[in-house]
Amino acid sequence: MTSVDRNQLLFDRAKLLIPGGVNSPVRAFRAVGGTPRFVQRAQGAYFWDANGQRYIDYIGSWGPMILGHGHPAVVEAVQKAVLEGFSYGAPTEREVELAEEIIKLVPSIDMVRLVSSGTEAGMSAIRLARGATGRKKIIKFEGCYHGHADALLVKAGSGLATFGNPTSAGVPPEVVQHTIVLEYNNVEQLEAAFVEHGPEVACLMIEPIAGNMNFVRASVPFMKRCRELCTQHGALLAFDEVMTGFRVALGGAQSVYAKLIPGFEPDMTVMGKVIGGGMPLAAFGAKRAVMEQLAPLGGVYQAGTLSGNPVATACGLATLREIQKPGFYENLSATTRSLVDGLTAAAHAEGVTMCGDSQGGMFGFFLFDELPQNYAKVMTTDGPTFNQLFHGLLDRGVYIAPALYEAGFVSAAHTAQDIADTVAAAREVFKGLPR
Ligand SMILES: *Cc1c(COP(=O)(O)O)cnc(C)c1O
């Protein structure tokens, strides 16, 4: 530590100029308190803050950095692309190549459109679902995040299967009146909602492995019912794989469920994060008949000045090529699993209640003795204890999400030594936690 805290100086400057000092709320450390770390640079599994302090990074830009920071093949592809121009507003070969890669890796997708953020992809997918079905209503689940489009900033109203209430000022209730919010993993509520609204439902959007309420899997019976009810009522099953796509497996969470439910496929897929490899890039895709409803072929309008950006597509393509190398997901999964197992064992050795789960390079852990199944349960986490854990790890050079409702991410650059160092740091912190 230098004598001057440059993170604090930068935060003080930032707060005068940028609301809360940050350009995305969770970065501000409001939930956990303290001063956000201003990142100076990153390499591999680490980043360095404005004081020159190194951290083992378990956020990885909230998922995109699956190869770790500054992977040589990705850096080379980006440098080469930059020399050829930043943006043209005209089609390029690289967009075709990226579309080919995505469609090859995700069999439920026949056609794809590239956009610049997960929010944009989710919002556009909803418009397309409504346009393609001629219906108004959408179903989402409490605790799933699909970006900050108005119609999706909704929490459950009071009572069963009622329409939601806006979770943000500036969203009029009329704008969310067609959004039905249900409890995750609750088959009864799901069935009741389709009984009441089935013929009006355009799509059901879900995070198949939810990473915005820490880490909660959709149970197999629940996912099976989602699929059956959508098919039965002519609604589109839209998988929000912005976080899970190319993260939990090469084929995304849908490939995980396809192994558990024979013939399983979603109708639409929303992607982001890993497909851009750290550049602003996202996508949504579906079967041909649905995608052909989009402008310029169909009546559903959607557009973007920077969509399919040549530098972003170079970064995404290079990333997708690396993750297809043999053994990539086997190694990543094993490293991630060893972290979760190590943390849980260290907690138990110190008498701290903990459990955890992971899939591919995504993980979550809880101060519970069994894995939670929905948002309400996740939110019963003891906040002060989580905050003590967060700051204890941060002080020891380990950076996890500064909020208890966020998943964590391991990259291919994390070594067995990084995991061992993390577990050792955690064990020291666990000694001081209430039990
Ligand atoms: C991150 C995320 C989004 C939003 O993506 P942005 O690029 O931040 O707009 C949407 N859905 C899920 C599941 C996400 O994790």
For 195-222, the pLDDT digits (tens) are 999 999 999 999 999 999 999 999 999 9
User: What domains can be seen in the chain, in order of their start residue?
Assistant: 1-25+32-41 (no CATH), 72-323 (3.40.640.10), 330-358+367-376 (no CATH)
User: Does residue 178 line the site of ligand 1, with CB under 6 A?
Assistant: no
Residue 122 CA, closest ligand 1 atom number: 10
User: Does residue 245 line the site of ligand 1, with CB under 6 A?
Assistant: no
User: Does residue 119 line the site of ligand 1, with CB under 6 A?
Assistant: yes
User: Does residue 239 line the site of ligand 1, with CB under 6 A?
Assistant: no
User: Does residue 118 line the site of ligand 1, with CB under 6 A?
Assistant: yes
Distance 121 CA to ligand 1 centre (A): 9
Which H or E run includes 179?
Answer: strand 179-182
Question: What's the confidence (pLDDT) of residue 159?
Answer: 53
Residues marked as catalytic = 145, 240, 273
Distance 305 CA to ligand 1 centre (A): 20
Exposure on the CB side of residue 352, measured as CA atoms within 13 A: 26
Distance 2 CA to ligand 1 centre (A): 36
1-10 mean pLDDT: 86
Residue 120 CA, closest ligand 1 atom number: 9
Q: Name the residue among 87, 103, 26 with its Cα closest to residue 283.
A: 103
Note the pLDDT tens digit of each residue in 162-207. 567 888 999 999 999 999 999 999 999 999 999 999 999 999 999 9
User: Does residue 277 line the site of ligand 1, with CB under 6 A?
Assistant: no
Q: Residue whose CA is closest, atom 5 of ligand 1? A: 118
Distance 211 CA to ligand 1 centre (A): 10
Q: Residue whose CA is closest, atom 15 of ligand 1? A: 243
Question: What's the confidence (pLDDT) of residue 164?
Answer: 75
Count CB atoms within 10 A of the CB of residue 296.
7
pLDDT over threshold 80, residue 56: yes
| Residue 322 exposed, middle or buried by CB count within 10 Å (0-12, 13-18, 19+) | middle
How far apart (Å, rounded) are the C-alpha atoms in residues 324 and 114? Answer: 20
**Phi, psi for residue 382 in degrees, rounded to 5:** -70, 105
Question: What's the confidence (pLDDT) of residue 161?
Answer: 47
Question: What's the confidence (pLDDT) of residue 33?
Answer: 95
Pocket test residue of 115, 126, 144, 145 for ligand 1, highest count of atoms within 8 A of CB: 145
Pocket test residue of 123, 212, 307 for ligand 1, highest count of atoms within 8 A of CB: 212
Distance 420 CA to ligand 1 centre (A): 30
Q: How confident is the model at residue 160 (pLDDT cuts 50, 70, 90)?
A: very low
Note the pLDDT tens digit of each residue in 8-49. 999 999 999 999 999 999 999 999 999 999 999 999 999 999
366-373 mean pLDDT: 97
pLDDT over threshold 90, residue 2: no
In sign, the C-alpha dihedral spanning 378, 187, 156, 203 is positive
User: Does residue 242 line the site of ligand 1, with CB under 6 A?
Assistant: yes
Strands 46-49 and 54-57: antiparallel
pTM of the model: 0.97
Distance 280 CA to ligand 1 centre (A): 11
pLDDT over threshold 80, residue 155: yes
